[in-house]
Amino acid sequence: MSGLVVRVILSPDVVTMTERELSDEIRAVTTMARLQALAGQHVVIANLMQSLGQDGAATESFLHRELHLPAPVLVQQRRAVMFA
């Protein structure tokens, strides 16, 4: 769950793309996949901290400031914009 992208499956349509377009597309998709994995870590840690009785606002702040984990809602918004 480190956000490392292991494999990218390409559509047959990529043959019509330039090398630069393909590179940009792969970069965008892998960046989104990484952000989604990090948001997943955010959810797991937030739930664990909540079950331990930690303050939700303090936990959210810690996850963002110290661990640099994006909030799932922000990743969902970014994904919606990307695929609109």
Q: Which residue has the higher pLDDT, 25 or 69?
A: 69
Whether 58 is in a domain gets the answer yes
Query: Model's pTM, two decimal places?
Result: 0.81
Cα–Cα nearest to 38, from 2, 73, 74: 2
Which pLDDT value is given to residue 83?
87
Distance, in Å, from the CA atom of 71 to the CA atom of 27, rounded to the nearest integer, reads: 21
Q: Is 68 left (phi over 0), alpha (psi -120 to 50) or beta?
A: left
Whether 9 is in a domain gets the answer no
Q: Which residue has the higher pLDDT, 11 or 62?
A: 62
Distance, in Å, from the CA atom of 59 to the CA atom of 64, rounded to the nearest integer, reads: 9
Mean pLDDT of the chain: 91
Per-residue pLDDT at 18 exceeds 80: yes
Considering its fold, how many domains does the chain have in total?
1
Distance, in Å, from the CA atom of 38 to the CA atom of 43, rounded to the nearest integer, reads: 9
Per-residue pLDDT at 3 exceeds 80: no
Whether 72 is in a domain gets the answer yes
